[in-house]
């Protein structure tokens, strides 16, 4: 009778057998277990733990085998007396040089660009060959993908070992800690092991030396791109199940076997390293310091881009795609990855066929979020190898000039949407991909007016009347049909909360139901439910308390000793008796609550911020003045910032964000992170796609007008 090995070692063996064809337990040093019997294998070599050079964090035999086979002349010029002798001076110099470059630039950049050693240059990786390039394909086939189990990585403590480590041409790419719930350990224990036992000062765990670290059990996968001890941040790398977190049942094996069967195959890993993984540089607006961050795609981002590219490759230009990705999905990176991979994409077919040219001449990214206009542009530039291919259409003539110059990616705001549609309409000989960020939006102000005007629809009042989204989408559909633009443009519409009109216009039609109604579905989904369950966003309705209910509560816990019931009852009595949404009273309630329950409790290390969402620009300005006045009365050291689009007339005078706040509109996102600013009062901005870790508390001052369907509860 054979018993199933459910231990951690059993999971190691399962992965090794699938990837290499052997279990990898008894691989002799300086030899490669490249025999594929009896299990098969997917193109990986079983490495030897004894071959690992802990001082330089390299699998030296795999590295030298690659260089000897692919660049024999340059390798001979290294003048190694004995490549296997760890004391050989030329060997040590070369390994020290390579290790230093990886430490400085990161392994991703070293794989892409190689390394110089004196007068010599060495390629460390050969990327995917273009169609019909047999020489490049042969070089790519010489890459050595290897995986080593029980890798003793520590210079000081030889007993410390990783379960698995994956290498390309001897350079470390990914580490793995494996757990099994049948032995009473889960992925959480693997995460804890990384945080507790894997010292980020160890050479292998230094920033940029490995691309990603995986915590894995038979049900879930987590990933981390930079180990920081207790501060290590692990993200879910799961497929999702029933629109929520986790992974679906797998009738053919473990729930997590997609990691080694799909994601980390040689072809899959090559694709990620070429098109997704990156070290990006960010500047802290407060300190001016630059910080590097390593990026690895989450599973839903990878699936979205690959599915979209496959569909375009099969069908060419002219289709519509609705991507329903919740806040917390990493939308900016998804848009950047999709944009730069749509460039250069060719349809399936014979490479010799002249008609098989690139599908799109240009990709135009349109966003109605002013904050993300610069953010998306910057993200795309960081992923594009040639920055000159990206243009930012800020002025009226920029779009036409960029198209004539052959700019491959053009980033613009929705205010320029009229010009975009006009230019595409007359460019019948060219094809375009239009990526629309927050397709459902245009919530008010100049944004709504610009969209409506571009699409031949009248602008709607911000506080009443038909929903601008319905008007915009209906007009867009008519304009598309009238100008027959579908022949030369594909539309990729990103939104977190698509309405029926948006689904009808961009979604995929489903078979008619029994009543003959045709419903539509998104091309790809990452739901709000999954984002909440994975911890990327908070369910604000879970802690939602109406104002009248709030003051009926009398809590007697230690962290909130009996709220001042006298003041609360006074305010409640005034609120109930007046039965109006008194701005002053609600301002007092919000400010008092934030001071007593958020600031006094030291939330987010005492740095918590609050957002107040209003129903329109006029209300936002009224609340801004009420907040400023009451904060002064309380002698509070804090202030508020107001955010809305364009100019607005109040009391016979025009006001803007800049005139009220005392600084430029573009500085709002930076200023709210600094004292004395703690309250952000919004009308039509910062409500979608705004990622601010210091944001702790949110208040809605009223529901949407009865003439609109509520965007939160769909009422």
Q: Rounded to an integer, what distance in angstroms lies between the CA atom of residue 709 and that of residue 704? A: 8
Q: What is the pTM of this model?
A: 0.77
Nearest 5°: the CA angle 696, 594, 714 is 55
Tokens of 234: 């692990």
Summarised one tens digit per residue, pLDDT across range 170-193 is: 999 999 999 987 778 999 999 999
CA of 55: how far to CAs of 60, 71, 120, in Å?
11, 25, 23
Summarised one tens digit per residue, pLDDT across range 663-703 is: 988 888 889 989 999 999 998 777 666 667 788 777 776 64
Neighbours of 653 (CB within 10 A): 8
Cis link prior to 676 (omega < 30° from 0)? yes
CA-based Rg of the chain, rounded to a whole angstrom?
29
pLDDT in the model for residue 456: 37
Tokens of 497: 């909360």
Q: Which helix (H) or strand (E) segment is 150 a member of?
A: strand 145-152
Q: Rounded to an integer, what distance in angstroms lies between the CA atom of residue 414 and that of residue 238? A: 33
Percent of the chain whose predicted confidence (pLDDT) is above 70 = 75
Q: Among 177, 197, 241, 202, which Cα is nearest to 52's?
A: 202
Nearest 5°: the CA angle 338, 212, 137 is 60
Per-10-residue mean pLDDT of the chain, 715 residues long, equals 54 92 75 49 88 96 96 93 85 96 96 95 93 90 95 84 96 96 88 96 96 97 96 95 94 95 95 92 75 94 97 92 90 89 82 66 78 59 60 73 82 70 72 80 43 39 42 48 61 86 85 85 92 79 58 47 56 44 80 88 88 85 91 92 86 86 87 92 75 77 44 37
Q: 210-230: string of b/e by CB count within 10 Å (b at 16+)?
A: bbbbbbbbbbbbbbbbbbeee
> Could you tell me the domains of the chain?
51-273 (no CATH), 298-349+356-529 (3.40.50.300), 589-700 (3.40.50.300)
As beta bridge partners, residue 640 has: 679
pLDDT in the model for residue 310: 96
Q: 18-40: string of b/e by CB count within 10 Å (b at 16+)?
A: bbbbbbbeebeeeebbeeeeebe
Helical segments of 283-330, H only: 299-315
Tokens of 75: 């390798």
Per DSSP (E only), the strands in 316-456 are 320-325, 362-367, 390-392, 409-413, 432-437
Beta strands 120-122 and 145-152 are unpaired
Beta strands 290-295 and 695-700 are unpaired
φ, ψ (nearest 5 deg) of residue 378: -65, -45
């Amino acid at each position: 009778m054979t018993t199933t090995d459910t231990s951690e070692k059993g999971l190691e063996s399962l992965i090794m057998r699938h990837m290499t064809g052997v279990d990898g337990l008894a691989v002799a040093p300086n030899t490669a277990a490249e025999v594929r019997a009896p299990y098969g294998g997917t193109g990986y070599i079983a490495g030897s733990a004894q071959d690992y050079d802990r001082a330089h964090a390299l699998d030296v035999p795999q590295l030298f085998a690659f260089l000897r086979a692919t660049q024999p002349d340059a390798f001979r010029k290294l003048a190694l007396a004995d490549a296997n002798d760890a004391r050989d001076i030329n060997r040590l110099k070369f390994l020290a040089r390579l290790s230093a470059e990886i430490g400085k630039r990161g392994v991703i950049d070293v794989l892409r660009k190689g390394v110089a050693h004196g007068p010599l240059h060495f390629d460390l990786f050969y990327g995917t060959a273009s169609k019909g390039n047999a020489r490049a394909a042969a070089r790519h086939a010489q890459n050595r993908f290897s995986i080593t189990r029980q890798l003793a990585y520590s210079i000081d403590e030889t007993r410390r070992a990783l379960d698995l480590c994956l290498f390309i041409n001897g350079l470390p790419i990914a580490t793995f800690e494996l757990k099994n719930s049948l032995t009473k350990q889960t992925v959480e224990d693997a995460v804890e092991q990384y945080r507790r036992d894997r010292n980020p000062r160890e050479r292998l765990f230094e920033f940029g030396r490995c691309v990603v670290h995986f915590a894995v059990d038979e049900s879930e996968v987590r990933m981390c791109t930079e180990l920081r001890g207790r501060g290590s941040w692990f993200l879910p790398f799961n497929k999702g199940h029933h629109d929520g977190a986790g992974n679906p049942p797998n009738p053919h094996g473990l729930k997590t076997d997609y990691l080694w069967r799909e994601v980390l195959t040689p072809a899959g890993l090559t694709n990620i390293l070429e098109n997704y993984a990156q070290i990006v540089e960010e500047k802290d607006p407060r300190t001016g310091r630059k910080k590097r961050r390593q990026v690895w795609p989450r599973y839903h981002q990878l699936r979205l881009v690959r599915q979209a590219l496959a569909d375009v490759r099969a069908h060419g230009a002219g289709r519509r795609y609705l991507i329903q990705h919740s806040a917390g999905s990493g939308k900016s990176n998804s848009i950047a990855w999709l944009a730069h991979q749509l460039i250069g994409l060719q349809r399936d077919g014979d490479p010799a066929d002249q008609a098989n040219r690139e599908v799109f001449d240009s990709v135009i990214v349109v966003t109605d979020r002013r904050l993300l206009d610069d953010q998306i542009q910057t993200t795309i530039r960081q992923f594009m190898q040639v920055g000159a291919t990206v243009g930012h259409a800020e002025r009226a003539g920029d779009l036409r000039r960029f198209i004539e110059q052959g700019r491959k990616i053009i980033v613009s705001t929705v205010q320029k949407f009229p010009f975009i549609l006009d230019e595409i309409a007359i460019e019948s000989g060219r094809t375009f991909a239009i990526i629309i960020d927050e397709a459902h939006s245009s919530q008010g102000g100049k944004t709504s007016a610009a969209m409506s005007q571009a699409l031949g629809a009248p602008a709607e009042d911000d506080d009443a009347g038909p929903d601008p989204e319905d008007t915009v989408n209906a007009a867009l559909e008519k304009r598309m049909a009238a100008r027959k633009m579908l022949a030369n443009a594909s539309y990729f519409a990103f939104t977190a909360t698509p309405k029926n009109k948006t689904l009808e216009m961009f979604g995929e039609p489903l078979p008619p139901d029994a009543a003959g109604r045709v419903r539509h579905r998104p091309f790809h989904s990452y739901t709000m439910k999954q984002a909440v369950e994975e911890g990327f966003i908070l369910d604000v309705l879970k802690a939602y308390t109406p104002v009248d209910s709030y003051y009926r509560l009398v809590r007697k816990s230690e962290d909130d000793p009996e709220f001042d019931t006298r003041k609360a009852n006074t305010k409640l009595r005034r609120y109930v008796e007046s039965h109006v949404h008194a701005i002053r009273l609600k301002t007092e309630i919000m400010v008092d609550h934030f001071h007593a329950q958020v600031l006094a409790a030291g939330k987010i290390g005492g740095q918590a911020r609050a957002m107040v969402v209003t129903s329109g620009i006029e209300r936002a300005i009224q609340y801004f003045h009420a907040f400023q006045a009451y904060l002064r009365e309380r002698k509070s050291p804090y202030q508020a910032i107001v955010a809305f689009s364009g100019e607005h007339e109040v009391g016979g005078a025009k006001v803007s964000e800049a005139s009220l706040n005392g600084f430029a509109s573009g500085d709002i996102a930076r200023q709210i992170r600094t004292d004395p600013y703690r309250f952000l009062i919004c009308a039509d901005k910062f409500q979608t796609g705004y990622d601010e870790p210091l944001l702790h508390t949110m208040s809605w001052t009223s529901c949407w007008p009865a003439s609109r369907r509520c965007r939160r509860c769909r009422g």
